[in-house]
Amino acid sequence: MKINTKGRLSFPGGVHPPESKDLTCESKIRPGPAVKQVAIMLSQHIGAACQPLVEKKQAVQAGQLIGEADAFVSAPVHSPVNGTVKEIALQSHAILGRSMAVIIDADPDNNPPKLPCSEFKDGFDENKYSAQQICDAVREAGIVGMGGAGFPTRVKLEPNPQVPKETMIINGCECEPYITCDYRLMLEWTNQIVAGVKLAKKAAACSEVIIAIEDNKPQAIEVMHTALKTHENGDNIRVVPVKTKYPQGGERQLIKAILRKSVPTGGIPPMIGVLVQNVATAAAIAEAVVTGAPLTHRVVTVTGEAIANPGNYYVAVGTSVGELIEFCGGVTEPSAKIILGGPMMGIAIADLTTPITKTTCAITVLTKEQIGKAKFAGRQTPCIRCGRCLEACPEHINPTKIAHAVKNNLLDVAEDYYISACIECGCCSYVCPANIELTGYIKTGKIFLARQRKKMPE
Ligand code: SF4
Ligand code: SF4
C-alpha cells in the first residue's frame, strides 16, 4: 500500500527558514577520520557526570568502559579506539565551557575505520529479547538521546507502573536547516532503525509507535513505510508525515502536532503517557542489543558553504571539531561561525579542540558573508511592538517581555513570564524586524537564574 507523503499535522507558531539541506542530503554515510586522539567527555548527557575508571598511561581497547556513575540518571562512557590514556583533564565543552574528559592517544596501527553494523535484515524478531535484557543492554551501552538533549535512554524506556507509556513517537523530523544525518540514516540503515523501534516498543511496553517524518523527506517516508510493512503485520507501528515547519522536531511540538496533547509547562512527555525517541537513538538501541556494541560512534553532518567536502560521516565520539573539518577538506573561504548543531539551535564554538559528543548531530560552518547578511548582524533598534515574536513562539510565551525583564535584571519578572518554558528554538529572534536577539537574552536569563538557585541555601 502506497503512503501519502504530504503532511498536514502541525503545531501553532514556528517559522520556515531556508532548508539548505541540498549540500549534504545526497551524501551517503562514509567513515570518518582515523583519529590520532580522542577526548571522551565524562559529562555528555543529562544527569550525573561519570567518574573515570582508567588512569594516565593505561592501555585501553575499543569499546572498553572508561567512565561510569552510580546515579540512576546517568550513562557510562566507553573508548572508541585502541590506545593509551594520555591524561584526564579539563577540555572545552560546548555547553559547560570546560569539563573533565579522558584524553586517549589512538594506536596508529590498530584502529581500522569502524563501519556501522550491517547485520539487520528485513523481518527482525524482537521477541528473542526480554524487556529487561533490552533495558540492560541500552544502559550498559551508554545510550542517550542522540537528537540533542542527551537524556539517558534506559531511564526513558523503563516502564513506570504509575504512568504507563501508551504511545512512542520516533522523531525523524530533522527540522533544523542544513542537517541531514537522520535523513541518511532512514534511507541507509532502515532495517536497523526498524529493529531499534521494535526493541524500544517492547522495552517500554507502549501500545503504539508513530514514526514522524517531515514531508520534505518523501523518500524517507516511503522507505520507512515499506520496511515496516505496516499494512501486513499487527505491530501497530506506522509512519506519519508531518508538515515541514521549524521546530517540528521539538518533542513538545511533535506531541501537539500528532496527538493534539500538551505536555504541562515544566513537565516531561511521560507525564502524559508519551515517549519520544530520535531515529539515531533507535539505530543505536538495535546495535547495542544485537551486537552488544556500546555507543562510541555516531553519524555527523559536516556542512556549510565554506566546507570543501560537506557530507555525512560516521565519526568516533571524542574526535575534535578541528580534525573533522580538516578531514572534510577544511574551509574554502573565510568562515565566521562554527556551530555544533544547526544554525537555529546549535551552539557557536571558538575552540576547535572541542570534541564531538554522543549528542552532536552536525557541525555547521557559516561564512562571513552569510553572517553579514543575517538579520542578527543588523543594528538592533527599539521594539516596535509588532507582535511577530509572540506569533512565532511555539510555547506561547512572551519573548519580548522576558527579554526586557532580563535586560533590566528583573529575573523574578522573567520567571513570572515563564522564562523556563522557553525551548530556545530561536524563532522569536528569527522573525524580529528590530534585530533584537531575544533568544540570547532568554538564554542568559536562564543561566543567571540557575546560578542564583545554586547560591541559595537549602
Ligand atoms: S521565547 Fe523561546 S520558545 Fe519562544 S520563540 Fe523564543 S526561543 Fe522559541
Ligand atoms: S518581534 Fe521584535 S519588534 Fe516585534 S514585538 Fe517582538 S521584540 Fe518587538
Domains of the chain: 126-291 (3.40.50.11540), 376-455 (1.10.1060.10)
pLDDT at 374: 60
Confidence of residue 342 (pLDDT cuts 50, 70, 90): very high
> What is the chain's percent helix, strand, coil content, to nearest 5?
30, 20, 50
Q: Span 91-120, mean pLDDT?
A: 83
Tell me the pairing of strands 237-242 and 274-278.
Answer: unpaired
Confidence of residue 3 (pLDDT cuts 50, 70, 90): confident
Q: Looking at 181-310, which runs of residues are DSSP E strands?
A: 208-214, 237-242, 274-278, 297-303
For ligand 1, atom 1, the nearest C-alpha belongs to 399
Question: 172 alpha carbon to ligand 1 midpoint, in Å?
Answer: 22
pLDDT at 110: 82
pLDDT tens figures, 231-289? 456 679 999 999 999 999 999 999 999 999 999 988 889 889 999 999 999 999 999 99
Considering only residues 150 and 88, tell me which one the structure prediction assigns the higher pLDDT: 88
d(CA 440, CA 403): 8
Q: Span 213-218, mean pLDDT?
A: 97
CA dihedral 342, 345, 350, 356 (to 10 degrees): -60
Is the distance from CB of 181 to CB of 148 less than 8 angstroms?
no
The bound ligand whose nearest atom lies closest to the alpha carbon of 432 is: 2
Is the distance from CB of 240 to CB of 133 less than 8 angstroms?
no
Confidence of residue 218 (pLDDT cuts 50, 70, 90): very high
Q: Does residue 380 have its Cβ closer than 6 Å to ligand 2? A: no
Give residue 288's identity as a one-letter amino acid code.
A
Is the distance from CB of 196 to CB of 284 less than 8 angstroms?
yes
Percent of the chain with pLDDT over 70: 96
d(CA 213, CA 346): 21
Is the pLDDT at 88 greater than 70? The verdict is yes
Least confident of 113-122, 163-172, 284-293, 396-405: 113-122
pLDDT at 458: 44
Is the distance from CB of 48 to CB of 71 less than 8 angstroms?
yes
> Which of 379, 451, 440, 368 has its CA nearest to residue 406?
440
Is the pLDDT at 350 greater than 70? The verdict is yes
For ligand 1, atom 6, the nearest C-alpha belongs to 428
Angle at 275 (CA atoms; ends 64, 124), nearest 5 degrees: 60
DSSP state of 271: G
Q: Span 347-363, mean pLDDT?
A: 95
pLDDT at 336: 73
pLDDT at 235: 79
Is the pLDDT at 45 greater than 90? The verdict is no
Q: How far is CA 410 from CA 184, 405, 419, 457, in A?
A: 45, 5, 12, 21
pLDDT tens figures, 134-165? 999 999 999 999 987 789 999 999 888 887 88
Least confident of 105-114, 191-200, 350-359: 105-114
Q: Span 417-422, mean pLDDT?
A: 96
Give the contacts of 374 (CB within 8 A, at least 6 positions apart).
none
Q: Does residue 384 have its Cβ closer than 6 Å to ligand 2? A: yes
Pocket of ligand 1 (CB under 6 A): 392-395, 397, 399, 422-428, 438-439, 442
pTM score over 0.85: yes
Question: 353 alpha carbon to ligand 2 midpoint, in Å?
Answer: 37
Based on its alpha-carbon atoms, the radius of gyration of the chain, rounded to whole angstroms, reads: 22
